[in-house]
Amino acid sequence: MKKIFVLLGLPGSGKGTQAKMLSQYLNLPHVSTGNIFRKMTTSDAPVAKTLNEYMNSGNLVPSNIVNDLVINVLEAEEYKDGCIVDGYPRTAEQAEFLNKHIDAQIVAIYFDIDEKLLEKRILGRYICGDCNATYNKFCMNTVIKDVCDHCGGGNFISRNDDDLDTLQSRINVYKKESAPLLTYYKALNNLIVINANLSKHEISDNLRHATDNILKK
């Protein structure tokens, strides 16, 4: 049965960075609902303005918009062998929807991080606008790169929601809406917990080990 790995955790816990690395390792595509929505906000899609309002305030986009979009994406041929999803589900309702509409084993991976680390991770984050590679200025002696290591582009951007106030709302929303997902997946016996306080490479090694074990089953 195909496997879908869904990554759960607070904003700034490293889901996006690890999803990209795991995607290469497992040779499974990476889906990020946040990236899909950010792209849509800059398009002339009728929903762009609505998305902008929710995202810039740190609130969740309503599930009726998210669910249909995700299911359409996951049903595409490209995802027939499974995938790594970062940013979905974000509520128990979305998790139920995913279970009901997709024929796959869903394995949740929770990035367990000390909340004190989040501010630096979020406020230092900048992104390559061409390929979405993520960097952190605090990890590089506050020097911001000129050229992206991954695609050679030089168009770096910050996310509109990566400021202190919006981070606090996103943390509050996570605790209220998304934290119950841990109980949900634990009850299904489909939850892996990863220590996300470690270095990028240590986390990546632990993730590889955990997902290798799942894929062997």
Q: How far is the CB of 22 from ligand AMP (least distance, A)?
A: 16
Which of 45/147 has CB closer to ligand AMP?
45
Candidate segments 31-39, 103-111, 148-156, 184-192, binder of ligand AMP by CB under 6 A: 31-39
Stretch that binds ligand AMP, among 57-65, 103-111, 130-138, 201-209 (CB under 6 A): 57-65
Q: Which of 9, 34, 82, 124 binds ligand AMP (CB under 6 A)?
A: 34
Interaction of residue 66 with ligand AMP, rule CB under 6 A = yes
54 interacts with ligand AMP by CB under 6 A: yes
User: Judged by CB under 6 A, does residue 60 bind ligand AMP?
Assistant: yes
Nearest of 95, 116, 163 to residue 10 by alpha carbon: 116
Taking the least distance from each CB to ligand AMP, the nearer of 115 and 205 is: 115
Site string for ligand AMP, 82-111 (x = CB under 6 A): -----xx-x---x-----------------
Judged by CB under 6 A, the residue of 6, 9, 11, 111 near ligand AMP is: 11
63, exposed or middle or buried, with CB in 10 Å at 0-12, 13-18, 19+?
middle
| Interaction site with ligand AMP (CB under 6 A) | 11, 33-34, 37, 54-55, 58-61, 66, 87-88, 90, 94, 161, 170
